[in-house]
Amino acid sequence: MTMKKREQLGHSAAILCTGALVAPPIRDIFRVLGIRWGYMLLLSFCVAFFLTPLCARMARRLGVLDAPDARKSHHAATPLLGGVAVFLAFLAAIAANGIYSARLGAILGASALVFCVGLSDDVRESPVLFKLAAQTIGTAWVAASGVVLSIVPDALGLFADGANLLLTFLWIVGITNAMNFFDGMDGLAAGLGAIIAFFLGVTAFQAQQPFLGWIAAAMMGACLGFLPHNFKNGQQASIFLGDGGSTVIGFVLACLAVHGDWVPGNPIAAFVAPLLIFWLLIFDMVHITLDRIIAGKVKSVHDWLVYVGQDHLHHRMADLLGGRRKSVLFIYLLSLCFGAGAVALRNAGALEALALLMQAVFLAGLITILERRGRGLGRSCIEEKTVSETAYAEKRGGVKWSDSAV
């Protein structure tokens, strides 16, 4: 059976499963069995899986394509509307669940704003400050509904309110952009989004907050349904998330982290749990910021916002491991390790929670040492290759082997 036929069969099966899942009797079975999360996961997966090829065809017809250039890894113009399939699948699962709250309504409304602005950037490049303004407005909308961090003790009065509000803005806007930055290799942002959503869902059910677990399951299913089209074995992705997809995944997951009380009765562990789940995004954001400032690559906030470089974690690991696919799989593994630490916090005390956080810091330092060592070895290899090619060229009368006809 050819790959095209297998894909057609998969799409047909996804459509049939979607039709079955939206039937009320099937939905009631999941509800009665107490696995509503499974229903939302399956529904969002199926919707995203069969919508993604349709979005790819629509993107080609409308000319919404990511053209290859010197700083990109793909070699053919690729559709950019994958985020449409992911966001619609997520919304479909939320709508089918039929349980809402004012805070969820604010998150969905703000997410729609972030998605639309990101989608407009995919169609026609928008100023970075315009996108940042939309994310800030969306965060203000969510915060106004009561979804605000409570890290600074209330005993400090107005200072606590202002500090917690500022931290909420930094967290949501920062994670949203960090996820967008990770959308630089096939399968990376969608896979990482699925892993983060999985651990948020697990910790939500541990904390007896099934409502948050259902939302996480819907996002996880949407990311997984998109992934087979974006992370193919031995083939280039047939579609990309685009800014509309990567930013909305980051925004929803960041808001979900603020919404939850992840380890009730243990404020230290509740603070550490989301840090571990999002650790790679936080580490990469901090690393590139410090690295670019120290190297003099950015000298203002605007420079930082518009700077485009190949210095993110996935680029550095690709250099170290010798391939993009290896880099993506390694990052998946790292995220699973850190997420497992967050799950272990359920019965941990404050000391154990801080120990896990320190372990994450040490691992981040170890990764930095290894990738810098790998970068140095890579430069040495290039220099040695250049010297050997030059010497060989001199022997052949000034013609390098790479320049000669084969």
For 189-234, how does the pLDDT look when each residue is reduced to its tens digit (9 = 90+)?
999 999 999 999 999 999 999 999 999 999 999 999 999 999 988 7
Residue with tokens 């696995």: 35
pLDDT given at position 281: 94
Q: Where are the beta strands (DSSP E) in 64-122?
A: 65-66, 78-79
How large a percentage of the chain has pLDDT more than 70?
Answer: 89
> Cβ neighbours of residue 363 under 8 Å, at least 6 residues apart?
334, 337, 338
Mean pLDDT of the chain: 86
Nearest to 78 by CA among 93, 89, 63: 63
Let me know the angle formed at the C-alpha of 51 by 179 and 45, rounded to the nearest 5 degrees: 65
Q: Residue 24 corresponds to which tokens in the numbers above? A: 């009320």
Task: Find the mean pLDDT for residues 338-361.
Answer: 88
Asked whether residue 303 carries a pLDDT value surpassing 90, the answer given is no
Q: Where are the beta strands (DSSP E) in 167-321?
A: none
Contact status, residue 248 vs residue 192, Cβ threshold 8 Å: no
| Pick from 30-44, 102-116, 125-139, 316-330: least confident | 316-330
- Ordered alpha helix ranges (H), 231-298: 242-259, 267-277, 279-294
Task: Find the mean pLDDT for residues 27-55.
Answer: 94
Q: Residue 405 corresponds to which tokens in the numbers above? A: 């006809």
127 C-beta neighbours (distance < 10 Å), count? 11
Range 306-312 contact pairs with CB under 8 angstroms and sequence separation of 24 or more: 306/128, 308/71, 310/71, 312/181, 312/182, 312/184, 312/284, 312/288
393 C-beta neighbours (distance < 10 Å), count? 16
Task: Find the mean pLDDT for residues 97-103.
Answer: 90
> Cβ neighbours of residue 344 under 8 Å, at least 6 residues apart?
356
pLDDT given at position 70: 56
DSSP 8-class letter at 152: S
Distances (CA, A) of 64 to 50, 54, 58, 73, 268: 19, 13, 8, 18, 46
Q: Residue 127 corresponds to which tokens in the numbers above? A: 């100023």
402 vs 254 pLDDT, higher one? 254
107 vs 361 pLDDT, higher one? 107
Which region holds residue 126: left if phi is over 0, alpha if psi is between -120 and 50, else beta?
Answer: beta
Distance CA 19, CA 13 (A): 10
How large a percentage of the chain has pLDDT more than 90?
Answer: 52
Name the band, by pLDDT with cuts 50, 70 and 90, for residue 74.
low
pLDDT given at position 69: 63
Q: Residue 321 corresponds to which tokens in the numbers above? A: 């491991």
Asked whether residue 405 carries a pLDDT value surpassing 90, the answer given is no
Do strands 65-66 and 78-79 pair parallel, antiparallel, or not at all (unpaired)? Answer: antiparallel
Run of H or E residues at 146: none
pLDDT given at position 404: 33
Distance CA 57, CA 139 (A): 33
Task: Find the mean pLDDT for residues 313-323.
Answer: 84
DSSP 8-class letter at 185: S
